Amino acid sequence: MQALGKLPLDLAAAGVDFASFSAHKLGGPKGVGAFYVRPGAPHTSLLIGGPQEQRRRAGTENVPGIVGFGAACRVAAADLVERSRRLATLRDRLWEGISKEIPSCSWNGAPDHAVTHTLSVSFPGADATALVEALDLEGMSVASGAACASGSTEPSHVLMAMGVPPDAARGSIRLSLGFASTDADIDRALELLPPVVARVRAAGAA
């Protein structure tokens, strides 16, 4: 679940049976996570043979990672509302600049129901993989899909299910903000994106 550390969560009130979280999504160490199980929800252990983690997952716990995860959660909780507000302001300024400077682009999803730290934008006529590579050469990291789908040349099945046209889905990239993101980062992104998108579109049309 991506919301941990970005939005207030009440899993019990939401009726969630199971949820998994990764520490690195909120600045914690990579390689450690948490698994929520609603009390009473049926659950079969994947790894058996030991009593660790209430017999839900056998094996030696990653204690330093768990401690780091807890520290990241405390830091995120301390300024959750203010951080969310700040990132939403940066995200909206990024979109305003993109929509003003780059023709024929669209925000994927419903802006009123979007997480504050992520912006998915479609640039029809531009290949997303080419955009990712061109921006990477300029020192700007973006993604064209989920990490688990890296290497795939197919448009995102999530965007397709949302009704995004295939050409737009193939030209979609995700721009993510973090706790360290600044106005200077937005300025740099808006400096790089228009010429890169234009260049990639021109190359695809050639």
| Residues tagged active-site | 148
> How far is it, in rounded angstroms, from Cα 158 to Cα 131?
19
Q: d(Cα 109, Cα 171) in Å, to the nearest integer?
A: 15
Smallest CA-to-CA distance from 37 within 23, 57, 67 is with 57
Gap between the Cα atoms of 204 and 114, Å rounded: 30
Q: Compute the radius of gyration of the chain from its Cα atoms.
A: 20
List residues bridging with 122 in a β-sheet.
106, 172
Among 121, 95, 101, which residue's Cα sits nearest to residue 174? Answer: 121
The DSSP code for 143 is B
